[in-house]
Amino acid sequence: MNKPVATSTLPRLDESLLSHLPPFSKLDKRQIRTILDQATSRRYDKGVAIFDEGAPAERFYMLLDGYVRVVRVTATGEQVTALHIPAGQLLGIARAIGKEFYPATAMTATESLALSWPMTLWDSFAADYDGFATESYKTVGNRVSEMNNRIVEMATQQVEQRVANALLRLINQTGRKVADGIEIDFPITRQDLSELTATTLHTVSRLLSAWEKQGMVQSKRKRIKVCDPHALVVLSQI
DNA sequence: ACATTAATTATGT
DNA sequence: ACATAATTAATGT
């Protein structure tokens, strides 16, 4: 496959990249400077793995631009997307839950830019920087509860509700407000949605077509826009 | 209530 | 022109 080109020789990283992000927002300029000086910056093409499931968790990452999907591969070889991570969030933070290996693969959904640090710095970050540990645990907690919700949905809800919920989550996490609705900010196919909701791309296609006729969504190839989120909420709670 | 199969059409490089 | 994505209808469990 195509290997992304390392760009660790960038002139200098600007403090404003991190200063407003939750794990770092309580830190002063000097602290952020030392953090940045230890970071490696790298660009990733769309559709490449930042790290692989089962690999030793050697680094942790801050996604600065783009979107990443956390993917697991089942015994039968199918890909299952566990969740999507938008820019501004940490990823590969296995260490926060005491894991030595990455529990899933992180694939870029778009061209992305991420900073990374060796995992050996994790403990000193947590110890030295106010708010870093608590914010990291928050994001871990949020992701765990989100995955739990998905599992409950799978077991209890019907396909239409699951797809509606998946769409709602996507626009909450990665939605971009546009003129007449909220658009999912990265390319997503019917196939992707079907993997998120454990159904088929055909069913997703049919649902989206039906919803489009009712004016709740609009979609082109790889682009989905939700025009009436509330209608989806209603649908998801039947 | 949904999946599967297959055929057809649309869309992006 | 080609591959990939999306739709649609028919059939199966």
Give the per-residue pLDDT at A5. Answer: 47
Q: Do A167 and A137 share a structural domain?
A: no
- For the entire predicted model, the pTM comes to 0.88
Nucleotides on strand C lying under 7 Å from protein C-beta? 5-10
| Through-space separation of residue A238 CA and nucleotide B1 C1' in angstroms | 15
* Structural domains of chain A, count: 2
Query: In this structure, what DSSP letter does residue A129 have?
Result: S
Q: Per-residue pLDDT averaged across A30-37, rounded?
A: 96
Residue A235 reports pLDDT greater than 70: yes
Q: In sequence order, what are the residues at sequence separation of 6 or more whose Cβ sits closer than 8 angstroms to the Cβ of residue A111?
A: A43, A44, A45, A46, A66
Q: Per-residue pLDDT averaged across A135-143, rounded?
A: 94
**Is A123 within the bounds of a domain?**
yes
Query: Which tens digits make up the pLDDT trace of A144-190?
Result: 999 899 989 999 999 999 999 999 999 998 999 998 999 999 999 99
Residue A7 reports pLDDT greater than 90: no
Q: Do A97 and A28 share a structural domain?
A: yes
Give the per-residue pLDDT at A77. Answer: 65
Nucleotide lying nearest to A187, CA to C1' measure: C5
Nearest by Cα to A237 from A129, A172, A156: A156
Which residues does strand C reach (CB under 7 angstroms)? A 189-191, 201-202, 205-206, 208-209, 212, 219, 221-222
Q: Per-residue pLDDT averaged across A2-25, rounded?
A: 74
Give the per-residue pLDDT at A1. Answer: 45
| Through-space separation of residue A202 CA and nucleotide B7 C1' in angstroms | 14
Per the structure, the complete domain to which residue A170 belongs is given by 157-237
**Is A1 within the bounds of a domain?**
no
Residue A47 reports pLDDT greater than 80: yes
Residue A207 reports pLDDT greater than 80: yes
Confidence of residue A11 (pLDDT cuts 50, 70, 90): low
Q: Per-residue pLDDT averaged across A57-72, rounded?
A: 94
Q: What is the mean pLDDT of chain A?
A: 91
Burial of A133 (0-12, 13-18, 19+ CB in 10 A): middle
What's the CATH number where A91 sits? 2.60.120.10
Distance between CA A154 and CA A184 in Å, rounded? 22
Q: Are A13 and A36 in contact (CB under 8 A)?
A: yes
Nucleotide lying nearest to A201, CA to C1' measure: C6
Q: In sequence order, what are the residues at sequence separation of 6 or more whose Cβ sits closer than 8 angstroms to the Cβ of residue A45?
A: A2, A4, A108, A111
Query: Which tens digits make up the pLDDT trace of A98-119?
Result: 999 999 999 999 999 999 999 9
| Through-space separation of residue A191 CA and nucleotide B4 C1' in angstroms | 15
Q: Are A13 and A41 in contact (CB under 8 A)?
A: yes
Nearest by Cα to A186 from A84, A34, A89: A84
| Through-space separation of residue A138 CA and nucleotide C10 C1' in angstroms | 49
Q: Do A207 and A112 share a structural domain?
A: no
Give the per-residue pLDDT at A3. Answer: 42
Nucleotides on strand B lying under 7 Å from protein C-beta? 1-6, 11-12
What's the CATH number where A181 sits? 1.10.10.10
Q: What percent of chain A has pLDDT over 70?
A: 94
Give the per-residue pLDDT at A31. Answer: 96
| Through-space separation of residue A79 CA and nucleotide C4 C1' in angstroms | 18
Q: Do A163 and A52 share a structural domain?
A: no
For residue A45 the two structure tokens come to: 């093409």
Residue A4 reports pLDDT greater than 50: no
Confidence of residue A132 (pLDDT cuts 50, 70, 90): very high
Q: Do A81 and A176 share a structural domain?
A: no
Residue nearest to nucleotide B1 (CA to C1'): A158
